[in-house]
Amino acid sequence: MMTIRRQEIVKLEDVLHLYQAVGWTNYTHQPQMLKKALSHSLAIYLALDGDAVVGLVRLVGDGFSSIFVQDLIVLPSYQRQGIGSDLMKEALGDFKDAYQVQLVTEQTEKTLGFYRSLGFETLSTYDCTGMIWVDRKR
């Protein structure tokens, strides 16, 4: 039976396989960074099939004016079953009074369609653009 649970403490060893399964090497090559990121998250929700962790959504931010969806992962063998939507709906429901929820994602029709189905819009809708600074010297 699939359940979604907000988890206050998430251990690296309980979720690292999710990041490995989808090839997010920035985290898998730097597991200590992921461990710190998990402990400093605003909220983490896990999708569980029995005791097995099959999905995760991780939020960062202040919880009131700005929330950022940092990670949304569902094991490939569990994708297209509504788990990602359930994770997002649970998280968005808990923070429904926040001024804005943002995220960055791939520009594929599949991914954009998924987020649009949850009510997200591109920044260009608001005559805005996203920007990023990354320390490339690392």
Please indicate, yes or no, if residue 36 is contained in any of the structural domains.
yes
Q: What are the pLDDT digits (tens) for 2-36?
A: 999 999 999 999 999 999 999 999 899 999 999 99
The C-alpha atoms of residue 18 and residue 80 are separated, in whole angstroms, by: 16
Rounded to a whole number, what is the largest CA-CA distance in the chain?
45
Please indicate, yes or no, if residue 62 is contained in any of the structural domains.
yes
Please indicate, yes or no, if residue 51 is contained in any of the structural domains.
yes
Contact 68, 51 (CB under 8 A): no
CATH number of the domain bearing residue 109: 3.40.630.30
SS3 for 82? coil
Please indicate, yes or no, if residue 136 is contained in any of the structural domains.
no
Identify the band that residue 57 occupies on the pLDDT scale cut at 50, 70 and 90. Answer: very high
Identify the band that residue 136 occupies on the pLDDT scale cut at 50, 70 and 90. Answer: confident
What pTM, to 2 d.p., does this model score?
0.93
- With b for 16 or more beta-carbon neighbours within 10 A and e for fewer, the 61-74 pattern comes to beeeeebebbbbbb
Identify the band that residue 138 occupies on the pLDDT scale cut at 50, 70 and 90. Answer: low
Dihedral angle computed from the Cα positions of residues 45, 15, 59 and 123, in that order, rounded to the nearest 10 degrees: -110
Please indicate, yes or no, if residue 138 is contained in any of the structural domains.
no
Contact 47, 53 (CB under 8 A): yes
pLDDT beyond 90 at 1: no
Please indicate, yes or no, if residue 110 is contained in any of the structural domains.
yes
If one compares 136 and 76, the residue with the highest pLDDT of the two is 76
The C-alpha atoms of residue 5 and residue 100 are separated, in whole angstroms, by: 23
Give the angle subtended at the CA of 112 by the CAs of 107 and 114, to the nearest 5°: 145
Please indicate, yes or no, if residue 58 is contained in any of the structural domains.
yes
Instruction: Please state the domain count of the chain.
Output: 1
The C-alpha atoms of residue 33 and residue 50 are separated, in whole angstroms, by: 28
* Domain range enclosing 15: 2-126
Please indicate, yes or no, if residue 132 is contained in any of the structural domains.
no
Sign (positive or negative) of CA dihedral 43, 39, 134, 76: negative
